[in-house]
Structures are given as structure tokens and as C-alpha cells.
Structure 1
Amino acid sequence: MERNFGMLATNGSPANWLGANFWSRTGGPLMWRNYDGAVIREELDVLARHGLNLTRSFYYWPDFQPEPHTLNEEACAHFADFLDAHHSAGMTTVPTFIVGHMSGENWDPRWRAGRNLYTDVWFVNRQAWYIKSLVERFAGHPAVAGWLITNEVPIYGGEATRAEVAAWSELMVNAVRAGGGRQPVSIGDGAWGIETTGHDNGFSIRDLAPFTDFVGPHVYRMESDVLRQHLKAAFIAEMSAVTGQPVVMEEFGLSSDFVSAENAGHYYRQLLHNTLLAGATGWIAWNNTDYDAILDQRPYNHHPFELHFGITDADGAPKPALLELKAFADTLKAIDLPRLRRAQVSAALVLTSYLAADYPFTEEAERELVVTTAEQSYVAAHEAHLPVGVVREAEDGGLPEGYGLYLLPSIKALTGPSWVQLPRLASAGATVYASYCVGETQAQRGPWWIYTEEIFGVERQLVYGLNNPIDDDVVELTFTEDFGTLAKGDVLRFKAAGNEHSRAFLPVQATDGTVVAVDGRGNPALIVKQHGAGRTVLCTYPLEYLAAAQGRINPEDTYRLYEALASLAGIRGPVQLDDPLIFADSLIHEDGREFVVLLSQHSGPTAVGLASAALRTLGGDAIESADLGPYGVAVLQR
């Protein structure tokens, strides 16, 4: 099945945005008061020489609209010169209007006087006038690539109802169009809404889609596991593609105060390549430079680590992040990104509709659990060299059809129609895997599963109101039958974790299902039931949840189970690998070439044998082994 790979277009041509969020080192957010065109040109020249083609720029709101009916003419003149500097450097920019929030502080125009950003009619009108007026001035400049309404507005304007947010957002986008802006536009909210987090802040990707042109995740989340950290932005990109719109990694990065120089480079390398494979087609790093010269200026004096998110230092010298962006730019050129598509897949990682539907009388904690367990499943699939499509259950029930393997990891609930659909999917030839999870809350603590015997061939042995705690520190699954790549007698081991609700298993007795693995106490742990040409597979332990609840855990043995499931389903990855710390996926060029991307999760150098893969370097030389550096990448072709 196809995986989304949306590409922005400007003037009918594909647009590959690779750049940096930009404040000049002359003043950060106050750069328009301290404008120096010569320094701007130096800063842009460094970025352009390292392969970047774009910046995201900011109309600092207190400066550009000092009064409700007035634009600051001096600031506008500076911005006109700023656009000319971009054009001279062969670059473009995406201006951002309502700023608003920035780097640890909120900045109001002095005349706001506490008005609600979204619902005060007069204030909304003044915002629309401000946006329309700026667009009228600058929309015709060749250096303008697109528009963003805000910067992380849920932090600045606060949360609101979805109806209020959608109405306000549409009015702001209409102001861009009324001003003559025909370039791509989006909101700039960070894609932090219910579809990607389980928390409803009002900014729904699906609600905003009818009048926006792309989705722009802002990703700074920190992790407790290296592999989850390296794949986190990629998984967010997958979830952000819920509407099929292009995904632009609008903000990502790190302060060099948080990390060693070497590890900063590793992080950038992993994020860039993993998000490319996850379907992103634009990247705008945070941010262009360090700000040591303005240490005493807000917000840097009270958030001093914000001084050092730059991809260049305060003197304009490249940092490891910019070197990684340069290497990535060279790769994108070599593989011809605008003419690529993601390789088709036969495996689907299912996001239950309970993540985004906000059904009545369900708890936010249960929605958030969908994200954490699915993310861990995404990691395990990568360790198993199993490219997956991240798919969503429909709100009125039903899963997309046509996949050979369905992964339903540690799920508490599906809709009724989807449960009924599972045996039909299996009968059509699919392998349908589901692992049990009771959830982390006491609300209706039990499996929201129906027709368990008909689907999985087991009878539940539950006592009402009680869960069945996992008492062992390590769960052992011993295989009593051959199962794909796992042989009778093989043992998988999983460290137990979770709270008093979630650290639980499902006691069952097999009816017409076949027990293929038992736990350390002899209880059925993995049960297979044949349905026509396919099968269902029930795991009575929440394997993905157990790993998600722990730090520094990957790789753990769930990937071996996924390898076995893929074998049963007849699914092979782009290359055959034995090492779970080498990820592999591929992209297909319209001329038929396949680009295979290998990403190492080893902290030291690693050689990857490829003798049987018929791969070549991008230069065309045959290759039988790829030597990858620490957390290194190789892009090969077939």
C-alpha cells in the first residue's frame, strides 16, 4: 500500500524547503530595531554555502504593529531589504506574522490589553488587517516562499475550543489570500493537537486542513531511550500526515548546552534521514545562529540555554548541525527528492480512533497511551527491518484494507465495527496481531474488546473489577510451536513495568485457537487462530506498553516477535539484515531506481554486510559492505 509523501508546490513546481528559522545575531527578536543589512547578508551567505535554500522569518508583532491601525514603516523597510538579501543569496523565506511567543517568553503589542486572541471581534479584525497589510506589501517579492500565521500560538494565545480555533485560523488565512498571497500557508501552531498527542488544545490538523497547505510539526520532545529519541520526530511526522497534506518539519533542533558537539551532529543526522523516510519533504532547523552578544537581553537572560540553538556560532562559524544539514542537502540533490515516492508497504501499524476522536466519557490519559504504545511499536518495527504504514481507524469504525500484516499494539479499545472487521481481514489473507492492554486508569478498567472467542479463539478468564497483575520482574514467553522465524523452545524475555492498573495480563483458555507460546507460569501468552487464508494472533501481555514505560530499553525482544509476524505474513524488508540496530527503508525514483537508506543505531563504527542485496553507491559502484560511523547513515541505490 502507498505511504504519504506530499510535496509542496510553488508556481506549479515541487518545492523542497531546507533551511533554518532566522533571527539575526544583531538582536534576536529585536533584530528589526538593531537591523544591520551587512550582517544579515553574511549570515545568509553561510547558510547558502552549506546548501540551505530557505529561512523562516518573523514579524515581531510589538515592532511591526505598534498601534492597532498602524504598521511600523521603518521595520517594513528593513523587511524589504531582508527579502532583497535573500533574493541575492538565492534563498527564499517564510514570514511568520503573529509573534507572539518566542524562546521562553510571550510578547504582546502594548495595545492588546488582555483581549482574547481568538474570540474578541475587534482584536481579531486588527490581526486580520495586520496580516493583509503586510501581505499586500510583500507577496509579490520573489523571495517569499510561503506564509505562517503564528509561532506556537497555543503557548501565546492559549488553548480554545476547536470551533473557535478553526474559525480564527480560517479568518487569518483569508487575510493572507485577501492581501494577494498565493504562496503555501499554514498556521505555525506546532501540530501539537489531538491527532499527535491525545491532548485537545483546539488545534486539530483535520479541522485546519481545508484552508491550509501543509502541516508543520515542532519537535523538541525529550526521551528516556536513544532509539525512541532518534525516531520520535519521524513518528510525529507519520501522525501529522493524517490529512495527506505535505509535512514540513517546521522546527527542530537542540541547544548545544544540552549535548556534546558530536552528539548534536548524531541527533541532526538521525532526525533528518528518519523524517525523510517517514514522509517529510521540508526541514527548517531551529535556528540559524547563537546569540552570545545579547546575553543580557530577554528572553536569553532568563533562558540562557536559548542562546545556543544555532547551527552556526555567534561569529557565524558552522556547528555540527549545519555540517549535517549540508550533507543532507547533498543527499537530497543526489537522489532527486521531488521525483521520489516512498516504497509501498504491506504492514500497517494501526492508531486506534480513540486517539483523535475524543469520544464522550473517555479519558485523555487513554488517548495519550495510544501514542506511547504505538511509538514503541514503531521502534520495534524498525528493529525488525519492517517498513510500516501508520494508519488510522476511522471514527465510525473500520480499518483500511489491503495490508498483509496489521499491528494493533497494546490496545485497550477499538470501535465495534473494527472488531467485527478483524476476522474478515484475516480471512482475506492478512495476519492480524493484537496485544492486550488494560490501560493506565481505573475508568472501566478492563479490555474494551468484544467477540474475543470468535476473533482469537480464546475464552477470557477474568474476574469482574480485578486485573491480573504481572508479578514477575521479567516476563518469559516460551514457544511451544514453531512460529515464523521463531522455533519451538525459543524464549523471548520482557522486563515488566507499569502502574497498578496497566501492569497486567489477560488470562485466557484456548478454545479453537492454538497456543504457540506460554509464560513462565504456563499461561497461554500467544495464541493463533486460522481464518480462511490468514490468521489472528493474540498476545496476552502488553509487550509494547511494557517497553514504552521504561528508559534505555531498546532493542528489546518485541522486534523478534515482529520478525516472526512478518515471516508468517510473507513480508520482507528492503534488505535482509540480522542486526536490530541497523534500520533500513527505501525510496523509489520515478525512473525506477530504488534508494535504500541504512541508519545505524550503534554508538561506534559498524560494518553492514550487503553481499546479496545487489546495491550500489550513489556513484554507481557495486558494494558488498557498508561501513557506518557512530549513528551513521548510508544511502545506496538499486
Structure 2
Amino acid sequence: MSSAVRFGVNYTPSQGWFHHWLDFDLDSVRADLDSIAELGLDHIRVFPLWPYFQPNRTLIRPKAVEQLVQLVDAAGERGLDVNVDGLQGHLSSFDYLPAWTRTWHRRNLFTDPDVLDGQAAYLRTLAAALADRPNFIGMTLGNEINQFSAGPHPDPDRATEEQIGAWLERMLAACAEGAPGKPHLHAEYDATWYQDDMPFTPGQAARRGAMTAVHSWVFNGTAQRHGRTSVPSEHHAAYLVELSKAWADEPHRPVWLQEVGAPQPLVPAEHAAAFAEATIANVLDCPDLWGITWWCSHDVSRELADFPELEYGLGLLTNDRQPKDIALVLAEAAREPTYAPAPRSTALVVPADPSVRSVCGPGGPVFDAYFRLVADGARPATVLDVRADDKEHLAARGITEVVSPDQVLPTPQGDTSS
């Protein structure tokens, strides 16, 4: 059956970046949203900065919440739905955590009872403020908050898989209390799928919340190993979508490609549009896709210091709101939002044990086998080893053939272009 796919963008304000919450200018926001709506996109994902909104554990600033509601209303006036990320958290290499969780008040983000009370109150408050807005999609708990729970973060808040599971349940429940009936979810960067000691696990990502979210960035070793026009680079987002399905209990659980971008210099600016075109076409060949949300809307101003170089040019639009070639690619895709991909009948076996999930990452045998299959013309899905003989599960997903990595020729040979 055909269905609609959502096309949107992660909203990065053109003026002041996310620090715009400190000097909120609704006219500037409206102009940004106009430039996004003109591309024909249907939603945005927005990022209140947690320390600005909740500077004290028992103070959630009413003015900040009011400004968030104004932004959501302005988006609705332009036909844009809005997903709101709560716990920011981490954005573009910078951490934004309230002072009541750090240094002299150092408390674990995932296990301390007082911190959990504060987080739940904050998420509940944001959700409740937006619950009656028809264009409010729902909450995402935070942006890649798993990066705080393990290395390579320089000062991680360590927690066990069980403690993270309890944290996810409580925070999702808080969102549901604030805005009942909305599709609330959580989202992590790809260490959830690739890093053996990450306490946020694939099973949690694929089973908790209203849908599964994946964030695809080829600077994780994929483009470095294989080049920007290689099968692994151009299919990496599709791979994460399909990899996530191995752990899902629901055969057709929706998957949201919530972040994907074209990072320089691995994808030079003059090749960004071609990379986006290939990435989108390949993801649209994945069944059960909820939507594609590009990172990001507007470039970071060069007036702002200390960002990694790649962050300055990731926008679909320039800092003065002019569309780039890559924006036109997304606009073209959004003009035909229905799709009907065939089931993926060949499934590659993935180990269910999260302590060995690195086999799924760049250079791992599952990763390499998957892209060897793609290079040979297959359209692989994935299945957990513990379900590889489950005929009912396989049939529900349309899988008729199961192969293991050792049955597939090793390491795909991509180009080495930069």
C-alpha cells in the first residue's frame, strides 16, 4: 500500500542560532519559517535549550515556554507541524546542561531522583503547553542524549541498561501526561546501534516510544573508509532504518529518519545536492518510513565562534535565507510524498546481544555484508539471530530468505573520493 512520507527540516534559527531564545525575535522566526515553508516541507523539529528554559530545578521560565508556543503557532500559520526536543542537551558539539546538574551540584542525569523529578516536570510542562495545538506532533525526549551516558564524552553520567530503561519509561510517561495521545519518542546518535558499551540499546530504541528514530551521519567512519559516492555512504541512512527493524517487536513499526545531513569536507558543498538526492532515493526504498527530516534549515553564522567547521555549512538555506541546490532536492522530493516500496524479502542476520553490536558499525562484518548485498543488487532487511527461524515473524515482514554475514563476500569496495 502507498502511504505519505513526511518531509521536514531541523530548525536552526538564522539569527543567533539556538541562542535566539535569549533574545527571542518572533519576526525573525517568522521570516525563517517562511523560507522553510516555501520549500514545500511539512514539519520542523525545534530545540529549546534546557538551561535557558529551566535554569533552576524548580523554575521553568513561563516566558520561555510562552515563546516556544509562539514559535509553534507561527509554524502552524505556515502549514508546518512541529516536533519539540526537550532536554538540550547536546547540539553541534556543545553541551547545554543546567547548572543544577554540574560541578558543585554534580548529579547523574539518568539516575539521581531529584534530577529525574526536574526533568519529568520540564518535559510535562512543555508538552502540556502545546497539547491543544493541532500542529504539535509530539515530544522527543532530547537530542542524542545518549552521548552523556558513555565515552567518548569526556565526563559521562554512567548508567546501566536497566537504569536507562527506567529513565526512558519515566520521561516518556511525563510527556504523555502533558500531552496525552501524541506520538512521543526518544532519539539517539548511532552509538546506540554501533557501540558495545552504550547503555542506550537497540532494543530500547526500537521498542520504546511511538516510533523508532535514527540519526545518520557518514562522518562516523563510513565516508572516511568508502568515499562520498560509495554504496555504504549513499545507503547509510537506509541501512540504519533497516537495521533498526531487527530489534522491533512490531513488524511494521514506523521509523523516522530524524537527522541526516551532508557534512563537509567529506561531502564537499558542490556535491551536497547529489549526496542528498541519492540518500533520499535510497531511504524511500525502505518500507515503514515515517519521514525524513534534514539537518538543518539555515547555516550557522560565521559571526559565531568555535563550531566545528562542518557545522557552518549544513543548512538547506544560507544565513540570509537563500535556498541552496540541496534545498531544491528536498523540495522536489516533498512534492511527491507518497511511496510504495516493495517488501525487502532478503534479511541479513544481526546478533541480538548488544554487547557485540559493533559488528554492525563501519568495518564490522554485518555492516560490510549488508553493503556487499546492496552492491550486488539486493534490497536487504535485517533480522535478529534469535528470530532467524521464526516463520511467523519472517512472514509478517515479507522475508523469504535469511543469510548470515559469513555467507556474503567481505568488505564492499567503494570509491575513495572526498
Q: TM-score range by the shorter chain?
A: 0.7 to 0.9
Rate the CA distance shift 1:352–1:250 in 2: closer, same or farther, 3 A: closer
Is the CA contact 1:118–1:165 (under 8 Å) kept in the aligned structure 2? yes
Instruction: Read off the aligned partner of 2:272 and give its amino acid letter.
Output: A
Q: Residues 48-94 of structure 1: CA distance to partner in whole angstroms, max 9, x if unpaired?
A: 11111111001200110111111122222221210111011011110
Superposition TM-score, scaled by structure 2 size: 0.85
1:294 CA displacement:
3.5
1:130 CA displacement:
1.0
- Which residue of the other structure, out of 27, 48, 67, is the alignment partner of 1:78? 67
Q: Which residue does the alignment assign to 1:295? A: 304
1:191-590 matches, within 5 Å, as 192-193=191-192, 196-197=193-194, 199-222=196-219, 223=223, 224-225=225-226, 226-242=230-246, 243=248, 244=251, 245-256=253-264, 258-279=266-287, 280-292=289-301, 294-296=303-305, 301-332=306-337, 336-337=338-339, 340=340, 342-346=341-345, 348-353=346-351, 356-358=352-354, 367-368=359-360, 372-394=364-386, 398=389, 400=391, 405-410=401-406, 434=407, 543-544=409-410, 547-548=411-412, 552=415
Q: Distance in 1 between matches of 2:214 and 2:361?
A: 20
Q: Which residue does the alignment assign to 2:94? A: 105
Is the CA contact 1:192–1:217 (under 8 Å) kept in the aligned structure 2? no
Is the CA contact 2:201–2:354 (under 8 Å) kept in the aligned structure 1? no
Q: Residues 310-367 of structure 1: CA distance to partner in whole angstroms, max 9, x if unpaired?
A: 11001101112211101111232xxx33xx3x31354x232242xx3247xxx666x3
More strand by share: 1
Instruction: Read off the aligned partner of 1:182 and give its amino acid letter.
Output: G
Rate the CA distance shift 1:370–1:36 in 2: closer, same or farther, 3 A: closer
Q: Which residue does the alignment assign to 1:179? A: 178
Rate the CA distance shift 1:230–1:259 in 2: closer, same or farther, 3 A: closer
Q: Distance in 1 between matches of 2:22 and 2:65?
A: 11
More helix by share: 2
Report the identity percentage.
23
Q: Secondary structure at the match of 2:381?
A: strand
Report the structure number with the largest CA radius of gyration.
1
Rate the CA distance shift 1:379–1:293 in 2: closer, same or farther, 3 A: closer
Q: Which runs of 5+ in 2 are unaligned?
A: 151-157
1:102 CA displacement:
0.9
1:236 CA displacement:
1.1
Instruction: Read off the aligned partner of 1:381 and give its amino acid letter.
Output: L
Q: Which residue does the alignment assign to 1:626? A: none
Aligned length: 390
Rate the CA distance shift 1:15–1:31 in 2: closer, same or farther, 3 A: farther
Q: Residues 278-318 of structure 1: CA distance to partner in whole angstroms, max 9, x if unpaired?
A: 2333111111101225423xxxx242431221110011011
- Aligned-residue Cα RMSD (Å) equals 2.6
Is the CA contact 1:61–1:97 (under 8 Å) kept in the aligned structure 2? yes
**Per chain length, whose mean CA-contact separation is higher, i.e. which structure has more relative contact order (CA < 8 Å, sep 6+)?**
2
Is the CA contact 1:289–1:311 (under 8 Å) kept in the aligned structure 2? yes
Q: Which residue does the alignment assign to 2:11? A: 22
1:201 CA displacement:
1.0
Q: Residues 7-52 of structure 1: CA distance to partner in whole angstroms, max 9, x if unpaired?
A: 9xxxxxx774311111211211211112221121111112111111
Q: Distance in 1 between matches of 2:80 and 2:139?
A: 15
